[in-house]
A and B are shown apart, each in its own frame.
Chain A
Amino acid sequence: DAGITQSPRHKVTETGTPVTLRCHQTENHRYMYWYRQDPGHGLRLIHYSYGVKDTDKGEVSDGYSVSRSKTEDFLLTLESATSSQTSVYFCAITSQGQGRSPLHFGNGTRLTVT
């Protein structure tokens, strides 16, 4: 299995507070992604990175920011959490970009915003 860990695994936070989720990989893969999974929506891409300090927006990026200062770490920040951001968040990595090589996913972070 690809070495990818997400932390925390579970978090409950209050509306308006900042939250940072961490994704750490040991595979030295270039590409990293943040997805959210919600009932009725499947998996939706939030942000992705194609290298250190190189990031771009996905389809549901509003309210989220990311940073990648090292190859192995990709951080997702909710600047001011809202109830609509209650979701399960998955980090994924791949060596050649989505489609060309399979995505390897972490086990997810379940975030509840109250």
Chain B
Amino acid sequence: DQQVKQNSPSLSVQEGRISILNCDYTNSMFDYFLWYKKYPAEGPTFLISISSIKDKNEDGRFTVFLNKSAKHLSLHIVPSQPGDSAVYFCAIRIAGNNRKLIWGLGTSLAVNP
């Protein structure tokens, strides 16, 4: 049973517009939420994170929103650029357990010029 779900396997967006990637989770005992980006033939790279005590974190064009009541995490990319085309994974940590992350299956984002 998947505790972390990325319900959209793929997303296509025009360059300059907003990309919104979503992640839903079932366990209230998660405390850190992370987004990773992955290009083909490379390992994932860390993008941005948020702790459960916050509801928003920004880093340049990337903003992560956390809605704990809805158990929903989202990543906004504004403006989207062709170089953002990649697979995006959300990963969530069980509270107090720094040895285990639970990963979503990923969303493939295509930003079209």
**A29 to B34 CA separation, bound complex (whole angstroms):** 20
Give A41 to B2 CA distance when docked, in angstroms. 10
- The answer to whether A48 and B32 touch (CB under 8 A), given A42-B104, A42-B105, A98-B93, is no
Question: CA–CA, A12 to B103, complex, Å?
Answer: 27
Interface string of B29-69 (1 = CB under 8 A from A): 00110101000011111100100000000000000000000
| A50 at interface, CB cutoff 8 A | yes
Can you name the residue of chain A whose Cβ is closest to the Cβ of B47? Answer: A102
Indicate if A107 sits at the interface (CB-CB under 8 A): yes
Q: How far is the CA of A32 from the CA of B31 in the complex (A)?
A: 21
* Known contacts A41-B105, A42-B103, A42-B106; A99 and B98 CB within 8 A of each other: yes
Is A22 an interface position by the 8 A CB rule? no
Min C-beta distance of B96 to chain A, whole Å: 10
- Complex Cα spacing A41 to B44, Å: 15
Tell me the bound Cα distance from A81 to B112 in angstroms. 41
Which of B46, B99, B105 lies at the interface centre, i.e. has the most chain A CB atoms within 10 A of its CB?
B99
Shortest CB–CB separation between residue B99 and chain A, in angstroms?
Answer: 6
B79-113 interface with A by 8 A CB criterion? 89, 91, 93, 97-101, 103-106
Interfacial chain B residues near A98, Cβ < 8 Å: 91, 93, 98-101
Nearest Cβ on chain B to A97's Cβ, whole angstroms: 3
Chain A residues, Cβ within 8 Å of B46: 102-104
Residues of B near A105 (CB, < 8 A) are 43-45
Interface pair B44/A100, CB less than 8 Å apart:
no
Identify B49's interface contact among A44, A50, A102, CB under 8 A. Answer: A102
Known contacts A99-B32, A100-B32, A102-B49, A43 near B99 by CB under 8 Å:
no
Listed by A's residue number, 25 A-B pairs whose Cβ atoms lie within 8 Å are A40-B105, A41-B105, A42-B103, A42-B105, A42-B106, A45-B100, A48-B99, A50-B99, A58-B100, A90-B43, A97-B99, A99-B31, A99-B32, A99-B93, A99-B98, A100-B32, A100-B98, A102-B49, A103-B46, A103-B101, A104-B45, A105-B44, A105-B45, A107-B43, A108-B42
6 cross-chain pairs, A with B, having the tightest CB-CB distances, nearest first: A97-B98, A105-B43, A99-B93, A102-B46, A99-B32, A42-B105
